[in-house]
Amino acid sequence: MVDLLLSLPAAKITVLVFSLALIFFLGMFVDPVSIIMIMTPILTPAVTGLGYDPLWWGVAFTSMLLVSYLTPPVGLGLYYFKGAIEEVSMDEIYRAVIPFIVLQVIAIIVIILKPGIVLWFINILFRT
């Protein structure tokens, strides 16, 4: 799978967007721990082989996983909210989580377009 992703004639950003879209899609239906255990060994070598920083990839991966965990149709995280506050309907929970999802998607776009934001503090801390 890694060789297949690395041999694609597509641009680096295309493989990255495909990988994040795959995580997003899987996160709507599958538990996050399962996605991490299955997809990390497949996608991380491919993405780092394209020249992306592993720490940056981890932040992007985790951020996309967080968004997908709160996104319907399944949105497993939303059921935790429902269990914590039983008097609130699922419709209210769906509407309440929309601003958070929008902000998180904006953050992911910024992470993709400006990877230095993620690595800024680490670079200062370790002077790399």
What are the pLDDT digits (tens) for 32-71?
Answer: 899 999 999 999 998 998 889 999 999 999 999 999 988 8
Split at pLDDT 50, 70, 90, the class of 1 is low
Burial class (CB in 10 A: 0-12, 13-18, 19+), 61: buried
Domain that holds residue 59: 2-126
- The structural domain count of the chain equals 1
Q: What is the pLDDT of residue 5?
A: 62
Gyration radius of the chain over CA positions: 16
- Output 76 or 92, whichever has higher pLDDT: 92
pTM of the model: 0.85
Percent of the chain at pLDDT above 90? 47
Provide the 10 A C-beta neighbour count for residue 43: 22
Q: Are 65 and 44 in contact (CB under 8 A)?
A: no
